[in-house]
Structure 1
Amino acid sequence: MASERLSAFRSLLVGIGASLIGATAIIFSVVMLAVQLNFARIPFGLFRRLSSDVPLLASFAATFIFGVVIGLCALLPDETWIAPAVIVSSWCMLAALALFFIAYKRALDLISPAKQMQIVLHKADRSMRRWEKRADRFAPFLENRPTPGVNRDIARASFFQLHPEWESDVREASSHMLAFARRYAEQGEYDVSAIALNGLVRINGRYISTRGDTFFASNPFFTNPLTTEALISDTLEKLRRLAMSAQGRSDEEQFIQVMSTLASLCGTYTHIDYGRKFNVELRHSQLAASYLTGVVEGAPRTFGPDVLMEGVRLLGQCALVLVQARRALGVITIAKSISTVALLGLVKPGHEPITSTAVQQLANLAFSMLRSEERDINFPSKEVSSSIRTIAHAVLLTADKPLASQHSAHLKPYYALTDYGTFGDGLRKLINAVIERPAVDDDAKRILDHLSAWSDGIHEGEKQLLLAAVNKQSFLALDLINWICHITKVLVVASTAPAASDHDRTELIRNAKRLIYVLDWLPDEKEVVAFVENFQFIEQLFEVTLEMHGKGEDEIAEAARYVLFRWSLKAGKYQTGWGSLARALTALCVLAVWKEGSGWVTWLKNEFTIRLPGRSIDEEIRKRAADDLREIAKNPSNDRYGLGSVGYHMSRVDRGRFAECMNAVADLLDPEAA
């Protein structure tokens, strides 16, 4: 009986071992077939790497061995070996089941695109770490001759030059990532393609870290072969081709992903150290930005406004990156590209939001340059302002709507003052923060210097734009008038900051004065006068003059007063229904008597005496205005003239001096009644 039980036990072990070997073969075949079918979608080089995965093959080999071990346990010589055979067989079966599960999980990982890309990234990172350690070990044995004025690791650069094959794994990983991105995008799996392109950015970042201080700045006088970076150029070129491929099949999602990748690389390349503290060129960041510029400018041939708006936002993002990295000169080309794309929104129906988005990006860029840590932003700042005005002039060539002005809507991010986040709103907050800084604050000094450079000559461009808006009778003229008055006050406030140097104070006051004088260029025509009077132009000039007069900024106050006086003679000779002559002279009289002893009353009488005869104001208009002035002087609380803010401040001045000034001006208008 014992021999029979031993024989049955041996048969059982043989059956289990044979079954395990057979199951191993079947499962191995099925799993490898499934894995290799999924591998058909990946690059050939990666197919060979993953289809011969060592952990997966080792698990099946171990399972096969466990089956053989169970079969060998059937060779036990007598009953005393049954217990050890049972223990060994049990452990082998449990281990085989565990290995089946591990192989299954490993197979799932291998066919997962995310895991595949993780394996690729891990291999590239491991390769770069290995070469980094080799460079650290062997670079000290190479001759390291320091170059005056250039802080570069020459020995490390020499090591990499002597071993060009060190980039092979990095290049292979980059190619695999781009292949993943294209293949899965063609299948509509954009989440996978996004992971691949993000991996490409990570590879470039790790490559820059590995290279360290071995990047060299270009020299305009001679060619340096060490400035060439084949890997970066190859990456950008392949991304351009991927964008063209996406455009060829009208794949909006992948096209946007490629643009986002180029923008990310632009930021990544700013971490490259070229060995210069000043005049950093950021050559590769600008190269990535130029590639993005070309991709965005080519997008209108295929894609709609959504893609272009995203492209414009990414261009603005690249420009901000360059400004923050102290390379403001690099934004000039980007700003021009943004303005070029913005014009498309004006000529192509349904693309209007592109223009507003472009102006928003340029407004953000203009504001960012005022806070830049770079010392000289004069030229790029003027170019950005010029790009905004180019868009504005193009906007004025389109039709406008009186109630919902499209012109104002397009240019709101830069010229509007009532909305949060506009250029004017940000500038006001910035200057309010600057004037609270102490005189020794370097950041405040730099911002004031940038503001002085930005405002220098701005009056000329705004004058041309205002005249174009007025002639077009666009409601953008209202925004421009408000903006000019607002910026004038901001410049004056900035000039009072403790950190402002004497030169900055002089420049800011001069620029503010030139800017407020822009309003004096409004044409002396009835249509223009009637149109501008709709915007409470007299009240706006009055408020600027009063505020500057109250703060003791006499130079700006007198300039604004002069513009208001000139406007009273321009608008006063026309019957527009606004009573412009009486309203303007009332405002001037309030200003004249605001401060006792200011001498403004005498100035007003003298100027009016000199200028009035040269103006062909109709006798009836003069008499009516004189009667209105006398009536207002007699009963200043009567608001039937709709004086607005002028009427409010009229109640705060000395009534006797005010009435005397008003009657004197009325007598000059109508000597007979006097």
Structure 2
Amino acid sequence: MTAALIAASILMTPALQSNLEPHFLLAPERLSAFRSLLVGVGASLIGATAIIFSVVMLAVQLNFARIPFGLFRRLSSDVPLLASFAATFILGVAIGVCALLPDETWIAPAVVLSGWCMLAALALFFIAYMRALDLISPAKQMKIVLSKADRSMRRWEKRADRFAPLLENNPTPGINRDIARTSFFRLHPQWESEVREASSHVLAFARRYAEQGEYDVSAIALNGLVGINSRYISTRGDTFFASNPFFTNPLSAEAFISDTLEKLRRLAMSAQGRSDEEQFIQVMNTLAKLCATYAHIDYGREFGVELRHSQLAASYLTGVVEGAPRTFGPDVLMEGVRLLGQCALLLVQARRALGAITIAKSISTISLLGLAKPGHEPVTVTAVQQLATLAFETLRSEEYDISHPSKEVRSSIRTVAHAVLLTADTPFASLHSAHLKPYYALTDYGTFADKLTKLINAVIERPATDDDAKRIIGHLSDWSDGIYEAEKQLLLAAVKKQSFLALDLINWICHITEVLVDASTAPAASDHSRTELKRNATWLISVLDWLPDEKETVAFVENFRFIEQLFDIALRMHVREEDEIAEAARDILLRWSLKAGKHPTGWGSLERASVALCVLAAWKEGSGWVTWLKGEFTTRLAGTLIDKEIRKRAADELREIAQSPSDDRRALGSVSYHMTRVDHGRFAEGMNAVADLLDPEAA
């Protein structure tokens, strides 16, 4: 557009000259007046340039008063801004020079040139104004800082590409590192100077604007810091080296990264000293982002994975979050716990699950604060949510062995659970269950059990050659190994406390038992994994056999329809011909019938459990369970002291049910439904046999 106007001006100059020249020839004094006009316009433009330049630069520098000195000099000497004023000054001089035209034949060129100079001067004034607005914009200032750092790294990157081939490159066997590029950077340590300067500048921006309450600007600054670190890693390329546990490797030290993390820690302490909650959260988010950024560093290991700097960033974040309770409330802690969970997941997904152990312990420690301080309860729920997610993601990890990390995560959850049981519970909306819902609840979407069920259902559909399915089944076997011991202790503690968490635990144990059995049937399961899963399932369901037989405990547990739960798991396993687990559940049900039946709790435990056992015994013809029931019940009954009245009442009830099993018996729950589906002869035989053992006189 501008070029077209200039071309049109040049073409129109002869016509303009032919029209203007006669006017100046008729009155020669007009030429002197025109010269005076050009001199005045040029002088005025020069004066205006000086005034505007002074005002603009003063305003810009006043806005730079509190930024770092190095950045102050950089922005105060902005080349585009200074160039625009210099060009405006030159245009004023050019208009004054036009006043030196020798005669009337130069009128048209002088008019055209001076006109273009004035238009250009106005345009430059506008450009300078807009540039000044950009310079005092914090976002623009940071963009300038980041652009300068990026240009510096690009220059050094190109130099390394040019000069690295000239250096000797002797690669170490088994370590794929760019030795020549490493040597170049070590020979020129000053290459990081502008990157460090940019890092300091953006942190100064973050602190300054946070102190003024402009958190949007401080967030932009901290995001810029993450961008600098990302660009730094890209520039370094294959020059990072893994650490060695036996001797110090000087090439593994990264001063820039350590300096960045330390400055962020000090910024967090500064925000905490000011009780600046918003900036404190921003610093935590930045540390979490740096943890993810450093995960892209390649340390050149062919075997094993090292995320040293990601773990370092996570440790800094852990320290910051653990120090937050001294100043901030639950919202900051909840955000910190969520970010710690993200870092732990990052390590697990990057096949470095061992690094997540420390984070899991820290999360469990922070969760205890939610139990100790009123109003901090959501912190505990958030912590359990993160631990539950971490436990699940550990099962999906691509690592070969996750047995130790998974056990440590379970230990962290167990620590929280036992601490929860030390607090008071409510009978209807159980606080204990609410705290531990993300891990132990079965009815909610997104809990550990819900996600595990979906995962195993997907694994079962995979072919036998699927490596992912094999790995997940192996991880599940490792995770479930020894799980019964922790769950037994927790269940006994919950029952002793008479916490409604016991209901969740009983349901969870039955459900996980079934999940383990399902996983053992997957086509991708090896013989070893199949054996381990079934063994772990048997031991886990056997936890329910450890319930005490005190009257208060029996009455409390019977509130949860414990007999029906044992019956359901035993029946499902019996139908699927998983005899080992089915027999274990059946045996527990028999022993519970006598432990609970000897107490007059009002639940009719003896007769209800006996009916359930008879349904199981009669379910399959030729199973031999009726014979087992008669013999085992006789043996167990002989060693149990049950009141004669209780035995007689139970026997009468069993005989009545055997005679008319189709009657409505809602007290039996799901047992009543299945009672009508078994062979009546086998069922009546078992019922009458048990009744005769309970009440021999009536027999």
Q: Please tell me the TM-score bracket, short chain as reference.
A: over 0.9
Correspondence for 2:14: none
2:193 alignment partner in structure 1: 168
Cα distance in 1 for residues equivalent to 2:327 and 2:542 = 47
SS in 1 for 2:596: helix
Partners of 2:140 and 2:119 lie apart in 1 by 28
CA distance in 2, matches of 1:145, 1:609: 82
Q: Deviations over 1:52-79 (max 9, x none)?
A: 0011000000001001110111111111
Matches of 1:135 and 1:6, distance apart in 2:
65
Aligned to 1:469: 494
Residue 304, structure 1, aligned to residue 329, structure 2: yes
1:453 is paired with a residue whose SS is helix
Alignment partner, residue 583 of structure 2 = 558
State the alpha-carbon separation in 1 of the partners of residues 347 and 94 from structure 2: 67
Offset, 1:41: 2.8
What's the counterpart of residue 281 of structure 2? 256
Contact 2:433 2:501 (C-alpha < 8 Å) held by counterparts: yes
1:115 equivalent among 132, 140, 164: 140
How far is the alpha carbon of 1:634 from its aligned partner? 1.3
Whole-angstrom CA distance in 2 between matches of 1:351 and 1:631: 55
Equivalent residue in structure 2 for 1:586, among 608, 611, 616: 611
Shift of 1:428: 0.2
| Residue 252 of structure 2 corresponds to residue 227 of structure 1 | yes
Report the equivalent of 1:540.
565
Counterpart position of 2:543: 518
1:96 aligns with 2:96: no
2:409 counterpart letter in structure 1: V
The residue number in structure 2 matching 1:603 is 628
Indicate yes or no: 2:143 matched with 1:156: no
SS of the residue aligned with 2:429? coil
Structure 1 residue 83 and structure 2 residue 108: aligned? yes
- For the residue of structure 1 that corresponds to 2:564, the secondary structure is helix
Residue 363 of structure 1 corresponds to 388
Contact (CA 8 Å) 2:84, 2:124: kept in 1 or not? yes
Query: After superposition, what is the alpha-carbon deviation per residue over 1:198-252, rounded to whole angstroms, capped at 9, x for unaligned?
Result: 0000100110111111111111111110010000000000000000000000000
Instruction: Identify the residue that residue 19 of structure 2 maps to in structure 1.
Output: none
Alignment correspondent of 2:272: 247
**C-alpha distance in 2 between matches for 1:481 and 1:657:** 30
Does structure 1 conserve the Cα–Cα contact (< 8 Å) formed by 2:464 and 2:523? yes
Secondary structure of 2:28 counterpart: helix
* Cα separation, 1, equivalents of 2:212 and 2:157: 38
* 1:11 aligned residue: 36
Q: What is the CA-CA distance between 1:275 and the residue it aligns to? A: 0.6
After the TM superposition, which of the residue ranges 234-243 and 20-29 deviates more from structure 2? 20-29
SS at match of 2:171: coil
> Match for 1:279 among 298, 304, 318?
304
Matches within 5 A, 1:13-412: 13-412=38-437
Matched, 1:433 2:458: yes
Alignment correspondent of 1:628: 653
Q: Secondary structure at the match of 2:696?
A: coil
Residue of structure 1 equivalent to 2:643: 618
Distance in 2 separating the partners of 1:563 and 1:199: 62
User: What amino acid is aligned across from residue 678 of structure 2 in structure 1?
Assistant: V
1:4 and 1:456 mapped to 2: Cα distance?
Answer: 110
Instruction: Give the Å deviation of 1:656.
Output: 1.9
When the two chains are superposed, the root-mean-square deviation of aligned CA atoms in Å is 0.7
The CA deviation string for residues 97-132 of structure 1, in whole angstroms up to 9 with x for no partner, is 111111111111111100111111111111111111
Corresponding letter in the other structure for 1:112: S
Q: Which AA in structure 2 matches 1:627?
A: D
Tell which structure's C-alpha radius of gyration is larger.
2
Taking the aligned partners of 2:80 and 2:161, their CA distance within structure 1 comes to: 32
Answer whether contact 2:149 2:195 (CA < 8 A) is retained: yes
AA of the residue aligned to 1:266: C
Q: What amino acid does structure 1 have at the position aligned with 2:379?
A: I
- Which range is displaced more, 427-436 or 125-134? 125-134
Between the aligned partners of 2:664 and 2:243, the Cα distance in structure 1 is: 71
Q: Secondary structure at the match of 1:438?
A: coil
**Could you report, residue by residue, the CA deviation over 1:37-60 in whole angstroms, capped at 9, with x for unpaired residues?**
111132111000010001100000
> How far off is 1:26 after superposition?
1.2
Shift of residue 502, structure 1, vs aligned partner: 0.4
Structure 1 counterpart of 2:18: none
Does residue 577 of structure 1 match 2:610?
no
Q: Secondary structure at 2:304's aligned position in 1? A: coil
Aligned counterparts of 2:608 and 2:175: Cα–Cα separation in 1: 68
Per-residue displacement from partner, 1:512-543 (whole Å, max 9, x unpaired)?
00000000000011000000000010001111
What is the alpha-carbon distance in structure 2 between the residues aligned to residue 208 and residue 228 of structure 1?
14
TM-score (norm 2): 0.96
What is the distance in 2 between the residues matched to 1:146 and 1:657?
79
The offset of 1:639, in angstroms, is 2.8
Secondary structure of the 2:654 match is helix
**Displacement of 1:641:** 5.4
- 1:352-390 Cα offsets, whole Å, 9 max, x none, are 000000000000000000000111111010000000010
The whole-number CA distance in structure 1 between the counterparts of 2:302 and 2:148 is 34
Q: Distance in 2 between matches of 1:51 and 1:641?
A: 86
Contact 2:564 2:670 in 1 (8 A): yes
Aligned mate of 2:674, from 649, 662, 674: 649
In structure 2, what is the Cα distance between the partners aligned to 1:221 and 1:338? Answer: 31
Supply the distance in 1 between the matched residues of 2:682 and 2:401 (Cα, whole angstroms): 51
Provide the C-alpha distance between the structure 1 equivalents of 2:531 and 2:303, rounded to a whole number of angstroms: 28
- Please name the residue that 2:504 is paired with: 479
- Structure 2 distance, partners of 1:342, 1:210, is 40
- Tell me the amino acid that sits aligned with residue 380 of structure 2: T
Q: Are the aligned partners of 2:665 and 2:672 in contact in 1 as well (CA < 8 Å)? A: no
**Alpha-carbon deviation of 1:412?**
0.1
**1:672 and 2:697 are equivalent in the alignment:** yes
Q: With structure 1 as the length reference, what TM-score do the two structures score?
A: 0.99
1:310, 1:301 → 2: CA distance? Answer: 15
The residue type paired with residue 460 of structure 1 is E
Which residues of structure 2 form unaligned runs of 5+?
1-25
Contact 2:174 2:302 (C-alpha < 8 Å) held by counterparts: no
| Alpha-carbon distance in structure 2 between the residues aligned to 1:33 and 1:660 | 105
Give distance in 1, aligned partners of 2:289 and 2:597: 59
**Deviations, residues 275-305 of structure 1 (Å, cap 9, x unaligned):** 1133212110000000000000000000000
The Cα of 1:654 is off from its aligned counterpart by: 1.1
Partners of 1:180 and 1:605 in 2: how far apart?
82
Q: Offset at 1:431?
A: 0.1
Identity over aligned pairs, percent: 85
Give the aligned residue type for 1:547.
R
The worse-fitting range, judged by mean Cα deviation, of 470-479 and 93-102 is: 93-102
- For residues 254-283 of structure 1, the C-alpha deviation after alignment (integer angstroms, 9 at most, x for no partner) is 000000000000010010001113321211
Greater CA drift, 288-297 or 655-664: 655-664
Does structure 1 retain, via aligned residues, the 8 Å contact 2:442–2:449? Answer: yes
Moved over 3 A (4+): none
Q: Which amino acid aligns with 1:244?
A: M
- For residue 640 of structure 1, report the CA deviation from its aligned partner: 3.9
